[in-house]
Amino acid sequence: MSHRPTSLGLLIALLAAATFGMSGAFIKPLLESGWSPVAAVTVRAAVGGLVLLPFALVSVRGRWDAVWRGRWRLLGMALVGVAGTQVLYFAAIQRIPVSTGILVEYLAPVLLVAVTWALSRRAPHAVVLAGSAVAVAGLVLVVSPGGAGALDPFGLLLAVIAMVGCAAFYVIAARPSDGLPPVALASGGLLIGALALAAVGATGLLPVTVSFADVDLFGRPTAWWVPIAVVGVLATAVAYASSITATELLGSRLASFVGLLEVVAATLYAWLLLGEQLSPLQLLGGLLILAGIALVRADRTPAPVAPVPAPVPASNGRNTP
Protein backbone atom coordinates (compact mmCIF):
# COMPACT_ATOMS: atom_id res chain seq x y z
CA MET A 1 0.00 0.00 0.00
CA SER A 2 1.48 3.35 -1.01
CA HIS A 3 1.75 6.33 1.28
CA ARG A 4 -0.76 8.34 -0.77
CA PRO A 5 -3.75 5.97 -0.35
CA THR A 6 -2.84 5.51 3.31
CA SER A 7 -2.71 9.27 3.91
CA LEU A 8 -5.99 9.78 2.06
CA GLY A 9 -7.56 6.94 4.00
CA LEU A 10 -6.45 8.48 7.29
CA LEU A 11 -7.99 11.84 6.38
CA ILE A 12 -11.27 10.19 5.41
CA ALA A 13 -11.21 8.09 8.59
CA LEU A 14 -10.78 11.28 10.65
CA LEU A 15 -13.86 12.73 8.96
CA ALA A 16 -15.77 9.54 9.77
CA ALA A 17 -14.74 9.69 13.44
CA ALA A 18 -15.67 13.36 13.76
CA THR A 19 -19.13 12.80 12.27
CA PHE A 20 -19.88 9.42 13.90
CA GLY A 21 -19.07 11.00 17.25
CA MET A 22 -22.07 13.31 16.94
CA SER A 23 -24.63 10.53 17.18
CA GLY A 24 -24.68 9.88 20.92
CA ALA A 25 -24.88 13.50 22.03
CA PHE A 26 -27.61 14.36 19.49
CA ILE A 27 -29.65 11.17 19.91
CA LYS A 28 -29.65 10.99 23.72
CA PRO A 29 -31.99 14.03 24.07
CA LEU A 30 -34.44 12.27 21.74
CA LEU A 31 -34.27 9.09 23.80
CA GLU A 32 -34.89 11.11 26.97
CA SER A 33 -37.90 12.82 25.38
CA GLY A 34 -39.64 9.51 24.57
CA TRP A 35 -38.07 8.11 21.40
CA SER A 36 -37.31 4.39 21.52
CA PRO A 37 -33.92 3.18 20.26
CA VAL A 38 -35.56 1.31 17.36
CA ALA A 39 -37.44 4.41 16.23
CA ALA A 40 -34.33 6.61 16.49
CA VAL A 41 -32.15 4.20 14.50
CA THR A 42 -34.85 3.57 11.88
CA VAL A 43 -35.34 7.27 11.18
CA ARG A 44 -31.60 7.92 11.33
CA ALA A 45 -30.83 5.14 8.84
CA ALA A 46 -33.68 6.12 6.50
CA VAL A 47 -32.60 9.78 6.39
CA GLY A 48 -28.95 8.86 5.86
CA GLY A 49 -29.73 6.31 3.17
CA LEU A 50 -32.00 8.71 1.27
CA VAL A 51 -29.40 11.48 1.41
CA LEU A 52 -26.83 9.13 -0.14
CA LEU A 53 -29.23 7.48 -2.62
CA PRO A 54 -28.74 9.92 -5.55
CA PHE A 55 -24.96 9.57 -5.27
CA ALA A 56 -25.26 5.79 -5.00
CA LEU A 57 -27.45 5.54 -8.12
CA VAL A 58 -24.96 7.61 -10.12
CA SER A 59 -22.02 5.53 -8.86
CA VAL A 60 -23.55 2.18 -9.93
CA ARG A 61 -25.06 3.36 -13.22
CA GLY A 62 -24.24 0.68 -15.78
CA ARG A 63 -22.74 -1.59 -13.12
CA TRP A 64 -25.78 -3.19 -11.52
CA ASP A 65 -24.02 -6.55 -11.61
CA ALA A 66 -21.69 -5.21 -8.89
CA VAL A 67 -24.72 -4.67 -6.66
CA TRP A 68 -25.77 -8.29 -7.14
CA ARG A 69 -22.25 -9.59 -6.45
CA GLY A 70 -22.14 -7.50 -3.29
CA ARG A 71 -25.58 -8.55 -2.05
CA TRP A 72 -24.30 -10.47 1.00
CA ARG A 73 -21.99 -7.61 1.93
CA LEU A 74 -24.94 -5.24 1.64
CA LEU A 75 -27.09 -7.48 3.81
CA GLY A 76 -24.36 -7.81 6.43
CA MET A 77 -23.85 -4.06 6.51
CA ALA A 78 -27.61 -3.51 6.86
CA LEU A 79 -28.37 -6.03 9.59
CA VAL A 80 -25.11 -5.88 11.58
CA GLY A 81 -23.39 -2.59 10.80
CA VAL A 82 -26.53 -0.46 10.73
CA ALA A 83 -29.50 -2.02 12.49
CA GLY A 84 -28.08 -4.32 15.14
CA THR A 85 -25.09 -2.34 16.33
CA GLN A 86 -26.85 1.02 16.47
CA VAL A 87 -29.99 -0.24 18.23
CA LEU A 88 -27.83 -1.98 20.83
CA TYR A 89 -25.68 1.12 21.35
CA PHE A 90 -28.64 3.48 21.73
CA ALA A 91 -30.37 0.99 24.05
CA ALA A 92 -27.18 0.84 26.11
CA ILE A 93 -26.85 4.61 26.51
CA GLN A 94 -30.41 4.75 27.80
CA ARG A 95 -29.09 2.83 30.82
CA ILE A 96 -25.46 3.93 31.09
CA PRO A 97 -23.62 7.21 30.30
CA VAL A 98 -22.79 7.99 26.66
CA SER A 99 -19.08 7.95 27.52
CA THR A 100 -19.22 4.49 29.09
CA GLY A 101 -21.27 3.06 26.24
CA ILE A 102 -18.85 4.28 23.64
CA LEU A 103 -15.87 3.07 25.69
CA VAL A 104 -17.18 -0.48 25.66
CA GLU A 105 -18.25 -0.37 22.00
CA TYR A 106 -14.92 0.97 20.86
CA LEU A 107 -12.91 -1.80 22.40
CA ALA A 108 -13.74 -3.35 19.00
CA PRO A 109 -10.20 -2.78 17.59
CA VAL A 110 -8.74 -4.80 20.47
CA LEU A 111 -11.31 -7.53 19.76
CA LEU A 112 -10.18 -7.59 16.12
CA VAL A 113 -6.54 -7.99 17.17
CA ALA A 114 -7.49 -10.81 19.56
CA VAL A 115 -9.63 -12.63 16.99
CA THR A 116 -6.89 -12.35 14.35
CA TRP A 117 -4.42 -13.74 16.88
CA ALA A 118 -6.71 -16.67 17.70
CA LEU A 119 -7.52 -17.51 14.08
CA SER A 120 -4.01 -17.15 12.66
CA ARG A 121 -2.26 -18.61 15.73
CA ARG A 122 0.39 -15.93 15.24
CA ALA A 123 0.96 -13.31 17.90
CA PRO A 124 0.64 -9.72 16.65
CA HIS A 125 3.85 -7.73 16.40
CA ALA A 126 4.93 -6.01 19.60
CA VAL A 127 4.16 -2.60 18.10
CA VAL A 128 0.50 -3.61 17.56
CA LEU A 129 0.17 -4.92 21.10
CA ALA A 130 1.79 -1.75 22.45
CA GLY A 131 -0.50 0.40 20.32
CA SER A 132 -3.53 -1.53 21.58
CA ALA A 133 -2.51 -1.04 25.21
CA VAL A 134 -1.78 2.67 24.78
CA ALA A 135 -5.04 3.26 22.90
CA VAL A 136 -7.11 1.45 25.54
CA ALA A 137 -5.42 3.48 28.27
CA GLY A 138 -6.36 6.60 26.34
CA LEU A 139 -9.95 5.40 26.01
CA VAL A 140 -10.25 4.91 29.75
CA LEU A 141 -8.93 8.41 30.42
CA VAL A 142 -11.16 10.03 27.82
CA VAL A 143 -14.46 8.48 28.79
CA SER A 144 -14.13 7.54 32.44
CA PRO A 145 -11.51 9.67 34.18
CA GLY A 146 -13.37 9.89 37.45
CA GLY A 147 -14.95 6.45 37.56
CA ALA A 148 -18.44 5.66 36.35
CA GLY A 149 -19.87 4.54 39.68
CA ALA A 150 -22.61 1.91 39.75
CA LEU A 151 -23.56 0.82 36.25
CA ASP A 152 -26.59 -1.02 34.95
CA PRO A 153 -25.39 -4.61 34.16
CA PHE A 154 -27.88 -5.02 31.32
CA GLY A 155 -26.76 -1.73 29.80
CA LEU A 156 -23.16 -2.96 29.91
CA LEU A 157 -24.18 -6.24 28.26
CA LEU A 158 -25.89 -4.34 25.44
CA ALA A 159 -22.74 -2.26 24.96
CA VAL A 160 -20.57 -5.42 24.79
CA ILE A 161 -22.78 -6.91 22.08
CA ALA A 162 -22.61 -3.58 20.26
CA MET A 163 -18.81 -3.87 20.44
CA VAL A 164 -18.97 -7.21 18.59
CA GLY A 165 -21.22 -5.61 15.97
CA CYS A 166 -18.81 -2.69 15.61
CA ALA A 167 -15.92 -5.09 14.97
CA ALA A 168 -18.05 -6.90 12.38
CA PHE A 169 -18.78 -3.55 10.69
CA TYR A 170 -15.08 -2.98 10.05
CA VAL A 171 -14.59 -6.53 8.77
CA ILE A 172 -17.53 -6.16 6.36
CA ALA A 173 -16.37 -2.73 5.20
CA ALA A 174 -12.84 -4.03 4.55
CA ARG A 175 -13.96 -6.89 2.33
CA PRO A 176 -12.99 -6.62 -1.34
CA SER A 177 -15.47 -4.28 -3.03
CA ASP A 178 -15.71 -6.29 -6.27
CA GLY A 179 -16.87 -3.16 -8.04
CA LEU A 180 -19.45 -2.02 -5.47
CA PRO A 181 -18.76 1.69 -4.69
CA PRO A 182 -18.54 2.63 -0.98
CA VAL A 183 -21.39 5.14 -1.31
CA ALA A 184 -23.62 2.40 -2.75
CA LEU A 185 -22.74 0.04 0.09
CA ALA A 186 -23.47 2.80 2.61
CA SER A 187 -26.78 3.86 1.06
CA GLY A 188 -27.99 0.32 0.43
CA GLY A 189 -26.98 -0.85 3.88
CA LEU A 190 -28.73 2.09 5.55
CA LEU A 191 -31.96 1.74 3.56
CA ILE A 192 -32.17 -2.05 3.95
CA GLY A 193 -31.36 -1.67 7.64
CA ALA A 194 -34.13 0.91 8.04
CA LEU A 195 -36.63 -1.37 6.28
CA ALA A 196 -35.61 -4.33 8.45
CA LEU A 197 -36.05 -2.28 11.62
CA ALA A 198 -39.40 -0.95 10.44
CA ALA A 199 -40.56 -4.52 9.74
CA VAL A 200 -39.48 -5.69 13.19
CA GLY A 201 -41.14 -2.69 14.79
CA ALA A 202 -44.38 -3.40 12.93
CA THR A 203 -44.54 -6.86 14.51
CA GLY A 204 -44.49 -5.36 18.00
CA LEU A 205 -41.43 -7.38 19.03
CA LEU A 206 -39.55 -4.18 19.80
CA PRO A 207 -41.13 -0.94 21.04
CA VAL A 208 -41.38 1.89 18.51
CA THR A 209 -42.25 5.22 20.09
CA VAL A 210 -41.60 8.77 18.95
CA SER A 211 -42.20 12.20 20.41
CA PHE A 212 -42.55 15.52 18.61
CA ALA A 213 -41.93 17.56 21.74
CA ASP A 214 -38.97 19.94 21.89
CA VAL A 215 -35.73 18.47 23.25
CA ASP A 216 -33.07 20.03 25.46
CA LEU A 217 -30.15 20.86 23.15
CA PHE A 218 -27.65 23.71 23.02
CA GLY A 219 -28.82 24.58 26.54
CA ARG A 220 -32.35 25.45 25.43
CA PRO A 221 -35.49 23.81 24.00
CA THR A 222 -34.91 22.76 20.39
CA ALA A 223 -37.26 21.31 17.78
CA TRP A 224 -37.07 17.49 17.62
CA TRP A 225 -36.19 17.48 13.92
CA VAL A 226 -32.92 19.37 14.47
CA PRO A 227 -31.05 16.44 16.06
CA ILE A 228 -32.66 14.08 13.54
CA ALA A 229 -31.35 16.22 10.65
CA VAL A 230 -27.85 16.50 12.14
CA VAL A 231 -27.62 12.79 12.88
CA GLY A 232 -29.19 11.72 9.56
CA VAL A 233 -27.01 13.87 7.31
CA LEU A 234 -23.71 14.15 9.19
CA ALA A 235 -23.54 11.32 11.73
CA THR A 236 -25.07 8.80 9.33
CA ALA A 237 -24.81 9.65 5.61
CA VAL A 238 -21.38 11.30 5.76
CA ALA A 239 -20.12 9.06 8.56
CA TYR A 240 -21.02 5.70 6.99
CA ALA A 241 -19.87 6.61 3.48
CA SER A 242 -16.55 8.00 4.71
CA SER A 243 -15.94 5.13 7.16
CA ILE A 244 -16.51 2.46 4.50
CA THR A 245 -14.27 4.33 2.06
CA ALA A 246 -11.52 4.69 4.66
CA THR A 247 -11.73 1.05 5.72
CA GLU A 248 -11.38 -0.14 2.12
CA LEU A 249 -8.20 1.97 1.88
CA LEU A 250 -6.72 1.20 5.30
CA GLY A 251 -7.97 -2.28 6.17
CA SER A 252 -10.10 -3.22 9.16
CA ARG A 253 -7.35 -3.07 11.80
CA LEU A 254 -5.93 0.41 11.17
CA ALA A 255 -9.34 1.89 10.30
CA SER A 256 -10.82 0.58 13.55
CA PHE A 257 -8.01 2.14 15.58
CA VAL A 258 -8.42 5.50 13.84
CA GLY A 259 -12.11 5.12 14.60
CA LEU A 260 -11.21 5.34 18.29
CA LEU A 261 -11.00 9.08 17.76
CA GLU A 262 -14.80 8.94 17.69
CA VAL A 263 -14.70 8.68 21.48
CA VAL A 264 -12.74 11.93 21.64
CA ALA A 265 -15.24 13.61 19.33
CA ALA A 266 -18.21 12.13 21.22
CA THR A 267 -16.84 13.39 24.53
CA LEU A 268 -16.33 16.87 23.11
CA TYR A 269 -19.88 16.93 21.73
CA ALA A 270 -21.27 15.65 25.05
CA TRP A 271 -19.37 18.45 26.81
CA LEU A 272 -20.63 21.12 24.42
CA LEU A 273 -24.22 19.92 24.02
CA LEU A 274 -25.11 17.92 27.13
CA GLY A 275 -23.00 19.70 29.73
CA GLU A 276 -20.90 16.61 30.59
CA GLN A 277 -17.59 17.55 32.20
CA LEU A 278 -14.26 17.65 30.33
CA SER A 279 -10.96 17.41 32.23
CA PRO A 280 -7.21 17.55 31.49
CA LEU A 281 -7.06 13.76 31.93
CA GLN A 282 -9.45 13.39 29.03
CA LEU A 283 -7.22 15.56 26.86
CA LEU A 284 -4.28 13.35 27.85
CA GLY A 285 -6.37 10.33 26.91
CA GLY A 286 -6.92 11.80 23.45
CA LEU A 287 -3.16 12.13 23.01
CA LEU A 288 -2.68 8.52 24.09
CA ILE A 289 -5.24 7.37 21.51
CA LEU A 290 -3.28 9.25 18.84
CA ALA A 291 -0.09 7.58 20.06
CA GLY A 292 -1.74 4.16 19.91
CA ILE A 293 -2.91 4.80 16.34
CA ALA A 294 0.63 5.84 15.37
CA LEU A 295 2.04 2.61 16.82
CA VAL A 296 -0.49 0.44 15.00
CA ARG A 297 0.17 2.31 11.76
CA ALA A 298 3.91 1.72 12.21
CA ASP A 299 3.32 -2.01 11.74
CA ARG A 300 3.60 -2.54 7.99
CA THR A 301 2.31 -6.12 8.14
CA PRO A 302 -1.16 -6.15 6.56
CA ALA A 303 -3.94 -7.40 8.78
CA PRO A 304 -5.15 -10.85 7.67
CA VAL A 305 -8.51 -10.95 5.96
CA ALA A 306 -10.88 -13.80 5.30
CA PRO A 307 -10.06 -15.66 2.10
CA VAL A 308 -12.05 -14.79 -1.00
CA PRO A 309 -13.06 -17.31 -3.67
CA ALA A 310 -10.62 -17.80 -6.49
CA PRO A 311 -11.61 -16.28 -9.86
CA VAL A 312 -13.59 -18.57 -12.14
CA PRO A 313 -11.41 -19.69 -15.09
CA ALA A 314 -12.17 -18.05 -18.41
CA SER A 315 -12.76 -21.49 -19.92
CA ASN A 316 -16.05 -21.62 -17.98
CA GLY A 317 -17.42 -18.85 -20.14
CA ARG A 318 -16.99 -16.05 -17.61
CA ASN A 319 -14.51 -13.20 -17.55
CA THR A 320 -11.87 -13.27 -14.83
CA PRO A 321 -11.30 -10.09 -12.80
Domain span including residue 232: 3-301
Is 320 domain-assigned?
no
Is 61 domain-assigned?
yes
Supply the pTM of this predicted model.
Answer: 0.81
Q: What is the CB-side half-sphere exposure of residue 176 using CA atoms within 13 A?
A: 12
Is 184 domain-assigned?
yes
Say how many C-beta atoms besides its own lie within 10 A of residue 286's C-beta: 21
Say how many C-beta atoms besides its own lie within 10 A of residue 11's C-beta: 14
Q: For residue 36, is pLDDT > 70?
A: yes
Closest to 240 (Cα-Cα) out of 15, 55, 39? 15
Confidence of residue 161 (pLDDT cuts 50, 70, 90): very high
The pLDDT value recorded for residue 306 is 45
Is 122 domain-assigned?
yes
Is 134 domain-assigned?
yes
Q: For residue 318, is pLDDT > 60?
A: no
Number of domains in the chain: 1
- Residues 92-101 pLDDT 10s: 877 887 667 7
Q: Is 317 helix (H, G, I), strand (E, B) or coil?
A: coil
Say how many C-beta atoms besides its own lie within 10 A of residue 271's C-beta: 16
Cα 120 vs. chain centroid, distance in angstroms? 25
Is 310 domain-assigned?
no
Q: CB-based contacts of 131: which residues, under 8 Å, 6+ apart?
A: 257, 291, 292, 293, 294, 295, 296, 298, 299
Is 309 domain-assigned?
no
Is 318 domain-assigned?
no
- CA–CA dist 293, 138 (Å, integer): 11
